[in-house]
Amino acid sequence: MTTVIASDGGTQAADPLSEWMASADERAFLYRLLADVFRREPSAQRLEEIRTDSYREALNEAGVDLGEAFYSTAIDEQVEELAVEFTRLFLLSPGGRIAPYESVQLPDGSGQLRGPESQIVLDYYGATGFVHHDEMNDMPDHISAELEYMAHLVGLESSSWANEKQEDALNAIRYQNDFFYTHLSNWVFCFLKKVNERAEHAYYVGFAELAREFMEQELSELSDRTKQAAQLINRV
């Protein structure tokens, strides 16, 4: 807990590190949430959660309104609807699906499934000590994997703040910055735009919009965050 002497001579208690930790926790949560949204169709349990009042209010505050119809449909029916929509959006091909992979979606990329970009992402995970488990028989550059990876890095940042390992927190922030700008940010926006255009169900429209807002925020803040963290812990 540091005491800051303000220019008017008064003092105010400021605890910058706990604020950093809280914001890291929040970002990690969002990354996990969004990874889950794009990984699989939502379960009944998940839908119940989302339909609580507090969640609804929170979504609204975050700028997402799923619409009345969403909250009044029967859960069983909704699970079915969303399974169909998820399949239509991300799994059914040819002719329509938005293959949620960096190698496919990257503008000026290979456009291929399991393209060279996939290996590069896998190498990135490996180089930073992460193992990709192929249980879902899916690619390392699937949107949910990349979002999950960011969640891990942000989680590392948060636990580093908690353990007062500031250098480690800064290190984790640097990797977030690097991965975001080298990989995720280069394709996630055009991916989300496509989802927004093609999605018909309010759930996917809404969460795609949430994702977009969050990604925009990361885009505009991550590099500043890196510099400020460096300055905060006097690595200049």
Q: Residues 167-186: x/- map of binding to other proteins (CB under 8 A)?
A: -x--xx-xx--x--------
Q: Is 71 in the site for other proteins (CB under 8 A)?
A: no
Please work out the total of residues on this chain that contact other proteins, with binding judged by CB under 8 A. Answer: 76
CB of 89 to other proteins, least distance (A): 20
Site for other proteins in 15-54 (CB under 8 A): 16, 19-20, 23, 25-26, 29-30, 32-33, 35-36, 49, 52, 54
Query: At residue 198, what are phi and psi to the nearest 5 degrees?
Result: -90, -25
Report the 10 Å Cβ neighbour count for 232.
14
- Residue matched to tokens 């991300």: 90
Q: Which of 21, 64, 79, 98 binds other proteins (CB under 8 A)?
A: 64
3-state DSSP of 146-189: HHHHHHHHHHHHHHHHHCCCHHHHHHHHHHHHHHHHHHHHHHHH
Q: Residues 108-147: x/- map of binding to other proteins (CB under 8 A)?
A: ---------------x-xxxxxxxxxxxx-x---x-xx--
**Contact yes or no for 15/3 (Cβ under 8 A):** no
Closest Cα partner for 215 from 57, 19, 27? 27
Q: Which of 8, 61, 108, 164 binds other proteins (CB under 8 A)?
A: 61
Q: Residues 196-235: x/- map of binding to other proteins (CB under 8 A)?
A: -------------x---xx--x--xx--xxxxxxxxx-xx
| Beta-bridge mates of residue 101 | 142
**Closer residue to other proteins, CB minimum distance, 108 or 164:** 164
**Pairing of the two strands 2-5 and 11-14:** antiparallel
